Structure 1
Amino acid sequence: MESNIQKKVLQFESFINDVLKQDLAVLEKKLDEINSEIAEFLQLKSVINTIKNIGNKANGFKTKVDMGNNFFIQAEVENASHILLDIGLGYFVEFTLDEALVVIDIRIKLFERQVINLRKEIARTNAHIKVILIGIRDLQGLD
């Protein structure tokens, strides 16, 4: 009888470690990715608002552009009335600054919904882990 209990305890523990904790790690990674996407869109929104504010005062401006791996070059922007947004799969669409702000707000709302769903899924996985741990404790006769 005691060996059966130990086998069940080991099965439950391996299920927690091999399945549930890995699922939890995947969900947390997705959550981090989506949060970084939201941060990038918020930063882009801030940049667009800044461009809109200085666009009326000057005919162009100078800036530094990240070419990748934190390698920056100086650039001069003559007309900042339109912007290209990545819509996915390597495609870019040209928008006016106001249109881009609307698209960015919609994307942020979609990402926020995904964050809510992921947090619910993380909470559900954590609850499953706790329930199994309570079951293990009951099998072992601990309080």
Structure 2
Amino acid sequence: MEDNIQQKLARYESFVNDGLRKDLKDALDARDAIYDQISEYLKLAKDIEVIKDNGLKEMKTQVDLGSNFYVQAKIPDTKHIFVNIGFGFHAELTLDEALVFITKKEAHLQKKAENYTEKSSQIRAHIKLVLEAMAEIMKLGTTPAPRNLNL
């Protein structure tokens, strides 16, 4: 009987550690990646506002080529910019079009992040439920059997 309880506890522990905790980490990592995207789009919107407010016709900037390797770039015309619209595609948009796109994209990404937050909450609840079940099994396994006392 004790071995059976230990086997069940080991399976539940494995389920929590190998399944649920991995799923929780994946959901939180995906949500964090979405928040990083949102941050990039909001930064772009801020940069567009600076260009519009200051009436910049041309500008110099640094472009990240990857792995924090930057090169200096000159933008001769700031009327249009290329915006990453997803799936590796970029679209040439006016500043106003870019701001509209960014607003819509940010709202879409927020919904995706909320879905991952909800999913992570559900996984946390499942983990808690399994841990409580394990605690109950351990209580049952250690409770001494009732004795027939003759007084």
TM-score under structure 1 length normalisation: 0.90
Classify 1:134/1:94 alpha carbon distance in 2 versus 1 (closer, same or farther; 3 Å): same
Deviates more, 1:78-87 or 1:122-131: 78-87
Structure index of larger Rg: 2
Once residues 119 and 91 of structure 1 are traced to their aligned partners in structure 2, the CA distance between those partners, rounded to angstroms, is 27
Residue 64 of structure 1 aligns to a residue whose secondary structure is strand
Q: What residue is the counterpart of 2:78 in the other structure?
A: 80
- Percent of aligned pairs sharing the same letter: 38
- Superposition RMSD in Å: 1.5
Once residues 91 and 100 of structure 2 are traced to their aligned partners in structure 1, the CA distance between those partners, rounded to angstroms, is 14
Opposite residue 14 of structure 1, the aligned amino acid is S
Opposite residue 41 of structure 1, the aligned amino acid is Y
Deviation at 1:59, TM superposition (A): 3.8
Q: What residue is the counterpart of 2:28 in the other structure?
A: 28
Residue 6 of structure 1 aligns to a residue whose secondary structure is helix
Residue 85 of structure 2 aligns to a residue whose secondary structure is strand
Could you list the runs of 5+ residues in structure 2 that have no partner in the other structure?
Answer: 141-151
Could you list the runs of 5+ residues in structure 1 that have no partner in the other structure?
Answer: none
What count of residue pairs does the alignment treat as equivalent? 140
2:112 maps to 1:121? no
Deviation at 1:135, TM superposition (A): 0.4
Deviation at 1:115, TM superposition (A): 1.0
Q: What residue is the counterpart of 2:13 in the other structure?
A: 13
Opposite residue 13 of structure 1, the aligned amino acid is E
Opposite residue 110 of structure 1, the aligned amino acid is H
Residue 66 of structure 2 aligns to a residue whose secondary structure is coil
Q: What residue is the counterpart of 1:42 in the other structure?
A: 42
Once residues 85 and 63 of structure 1 are traced to their aligned partners in structure 2, the CA distance between those partners, rounded to angstroms, is 16
Deviation at 1:11, TM superposition (A): 0.7
Deviation at 1:61, TM superposition (A): 2.5
Deviation at 1:45, TM superposition (A): 0.7
Q: What residue is the counterpart of 2:146 in the other structure?
A: none
Deviations 1:14-38 (A, max 9, x none): 1001100110111111011101001
